[in-house]
Structure 1
Amino acid sequence: MERAQQGPRPGGPAAAPAGGDVLAERYHLDEQLDVIGFATTWRGHDAMLSRSVIVHVLDPRAPTTPEVLSAARRASVATDSRFLRVLDALDEPIPFIVCEDSPGTRLRELLSYGALSGVESAFVVREIADALSPMHARGIFHRRLTPESIIITPNGNVKVVGFLIDAALSGEAAIPGREPALQEAEDVRALGKILYACLTQRWPVPAERPQTKEFGLVAAPMTSPEVSNTPRWVPPATIKESVPAPLDAVCVSILTPRAGTNRIRSVDQIVRAMNRVIGAADPDGDLEQRVRALAGRAGTTGTGMTPRVHALAEPVQEPLVGDDLVEQAEVQRITREAAEQREALLAERAEAAARIRDEKEHQAQAEARARERGNSWEGTRLYRLLRWMAPLYVTAMLVIAVPGMIGSIRHNDNAARRAAAERSATPAPGPVAFTAESFDPTADGGEGGENAAEAALVADSDAGTVWRTDLYTGSATFSGLKPGTGLLLDLGRPVGLDGLDIRFVGEPTAVQIMTPRDAENPSRATVNDWTTVATDYGAGATTRFSFDDGPTTRYVLVYLTSLPRVDGGWQGGISEIAVTA
């Protein structure tokens, strides 16, 4: 590795820094750690505040120095404790940057001894993404996330190193005018790679580069031409069956998405996906034990930005996965997921049948109790007395009432004619015009809409036009990313709902018909603000929902919760919806 010069620079007014030097009468340079381009990195000591710091000493003549200093000053707004924050940045007489130091172990080093568990992996990625979220909102991006730029402290906390600075030191200065979405995509893709590495102890090396080790990790295996025309990294679950399906789906969505699939495009989406995996687990405690176990075998100090790799143990070296095994494992994984999905669907249907059976049994028991009460009445003395008196009473009443009955019959006949005329004037249930919009709340894990421009096609009376969901490769239940997606229908005015006829594309589709809890203001924030009025867990190509005493509503939500199988994954669609009221 290149070392910083220890003597004066030829032709320059300033001497290269050396161990023992003091910058700005405050920062002592103790140990040289690395040389990156025109910068030398030192572990130092802040004499004023008596703390360990990291000092990047820059070459005043290097053309990149102004950009590096500017990046450091922009990075100073990152005050979250999960960043190693910028403390100082001076440009005279020798330019340098001072950053926080932290004890811990680099993720690169931690992974050299084995993959992390699912919840540990989710925790590491969640912490990075959550720290980056407010920075992305301000249009500021890391752009250099790797296992080398992440530290796990002895307490199991996650620290992000080199925010903006690493990219600038590597000559990857931010391009003026570049779209923030493209820069955010860099960070999202890097987080997908870090998650992949944590789960598999493999690093996704781009196909155009030599498939050799990077960051001390073996290159992730790629599919053979028989599996896919374009080489792509195999899903983590193909390498390790213990990888949780939701995390496997996140990696696929970020790193190897197929056309039309539901992609993860923001760090906020990553945070939500990781939170669903972590739940109530305590992954930071697990990481703390892991880091302390390594430190116990060979003491680690400082930031992990060390001049050498600690020889804690012989790193785990697992054999590479052959193309034939990859293809076989991929087929087995898809088959297993299809079987699991079918079992889940059958279980849902069995649960619904059990509920219906219980309701019928309860109704039968209630009717039996009513009959028992009637039978007990028939055996009483009062019942026998009334049975003899009833005919006498009826005869007397007839004598009194016959004249009045004749007049009443005439009156009722006239009233019946009027009622029949009124009923003929009341219209029979008929079609209701409506508009449709996509319903995919971000609070539920969605993206605000799935193919929103196609939503109107379900009301155009043309069965050849279709609104489709995105394609999901993880499972029929939206790869575990959200509870569902659907269409919100606006009927224009409150009506008594009589029925819905829906033509689906593919089968079976699990669907719920819902009405808003707030009838005046239908929520678009979350499906939890809607009430289910009908459900079909295995809807066919043409399905009708009938309502004998239907709700009065202006808004109806057609909400898909499970999708039919298609080539490459699972995808649902609706060609037509007809509403009657």
Structure 2
Amino acid sequence: MPMTNRPGDVLAGRYRLVDLLSESGAGRFWRAHDLVLERDVALHVIAEDDPRAPVLLDAARRSALVLDPHILRVLDADARDGLCYVVNEWGSGTSLDIMVAAGGPLGARTSAYLVGQVAAAIAVAHGAGVAHGRLNPESVLVDRAGAVRVIGLCVDAALHGAPASGPAADVTDLAGLLYTALTARWGGRSTSAVARAPQEHGRVLRPRQVRAGVPRTLDQICDELLNPYAAARERDPRALDTARGLADTLADFVGDPTGLPEALLARQVSRGDETVTFSAVPEFGVRDATGEQDAVPPPRPVEVPVPLLGTAAVAEADDEPAARPEPPADRATDPATDAATGAEPDPAPSAPAPAPEVPTEAGLPIFDDDGGVSWMGAPGAPAPPPPPFEDPPERPLFAPEPADGGPVRRPRPSAIAAAAADPSDFWPWDHTGTGTGVPVIGAPVAEEVPGRNWLRIAGGLIVALLLLVLVVVVVNLSRGRTVLGADDGGSTPSDRASSSTGADTGPARALTGLTVRDFDPQGDPPAEYPETVGLVIDGDPATGWRTSTYTQQFGPGGLKTGVGVVIDLGASRTVEEVDLQLTGQPTGVSLYLTDQDPRGIGDLTPVATADAGTRATLTPTASPTGAVTGRYVIVWLTSLPAVRDGFRGQIDEVVVRGS
């Protein structure tokens, strides 16, 4: 690629290169100035023989077909002088990646509004048959008016050599933009400088698992678009898998957008491009050996003058007398007139006499307690000594004697008897020695130590708590449990009953070595998301197997009577209970057990049924002991929770307990 293009060069006789913003391989991205229309433009430049050149020009032509105020449009594209270039409209503001890096995630309504604006613009492009191809946080700009703009429609993907993609990839990236605005993490398919969203078992975590407070509606949108399931859904104008449907859904969530552009404008990151002007520093002349000072050049003019503090001190330090004020213009300068008025005549102007060489004298500030400030003199004038401290008042060491005129202190008549009866009530004098001579009624008694009653109460509470813990421990041990009340060895009441009767059924525990498959005998084809059914026994309640979304509820009048999963225990085993964790409620559940690999449920009888919430425990009741045997456990969903567009169920975790 020719390297003659540098700042100041003019491309195609029209575009003056100003700033090199970034480089991608052999391509360059410039801020340029259009000399014809006198405006800034964005300029992508690569070599004319670059393999991307034909693709870039074709992308520019297709992007120019899209007219939307939110999209920075293509203004020009051509190949000449060995260079291929594309000119775009210039946008000034803050991109989404910088916004979340500087200030963290956006609010829920602000995030939905921002991505909704981008989705509406991308929907217009999809209507014209044009896909963005590389939609990421760097391509979303909030300009200085608070408007949302989309950068690099179709052109950015061609410049980076990204493979061709369709509208579905843009919808996934739109969900990634919503994920970024909510969590400051990037969850889309395109590349970005923003940190990737965390994943678990190949699945992007929900925004609510990354940051608390994310609304459930936005959380569900991100989960459905970033973690799609294989079965295709019937499309409609508001489906989430189209840009228009996503834009309408986010607009419904936002409602009235008043104030949201201002909220985005408040998140702008300042570039600090304002010019800062500092005041000039005054210059001083150099004093020669004779004490005379060189002429001081006049200070440079500045926009903001710097006030000089302590002007008198500065003049004194420079050994120059302070300037006298100029007489008013209408005042007579005749010496006779000055003598008549009693004023001293102004001396005739003459060259200043050289000042004697003296050391610099500067005072020190003294800050008073009341906020005043005074100045301590120079070292030649000693400061006055501080005022002497006041002598503290004399206090008698002992009570006054009768010779001093004070009262006589006599022991109380009952002092000895009171001291013998209660030492804490001993006070030998009949008054306090203050000279009043008034006896003290209820003499000062030594008070009890403060807090002693609280210590006694606390000690009693601790003893009561220890007794309660001891009682709980004894009760747990008497019931065959551990000290903390857990089952000893995982045994259940049915196990202890079996042990007491001599039956050897083994302890009830979570069975391992299980396999699972989806069970949809009434479907066409008979499959229901088989690629995700293994999540129901992976030990992670955050992942699960989801049914399709049905427009009708299960039952005799529905499309089918139910759908579910089959868990293979590996051999015929005793099943005592089955724990379920579900999403949504209520969910109708029936439990079946059989030794034959099931192909349907028409000839089977349920061993347990329930209208479950998010958690349920099903206990087989087909035998007097409450336990049945079988190899295959069928969890059959007979009714599904209602969702926004129909009915859908989800099994997050299944735990089979038995022996």
| TM-score, reference length from structure 1 | 0.47
Q: Greater helix share, 1 or 2?
A: 1
| TM-score, reference length from structure 2 | 0.42
Higher relative contact order (CA 8 A, sep 6+): 1
| Bigger CA radius of gyration | 2
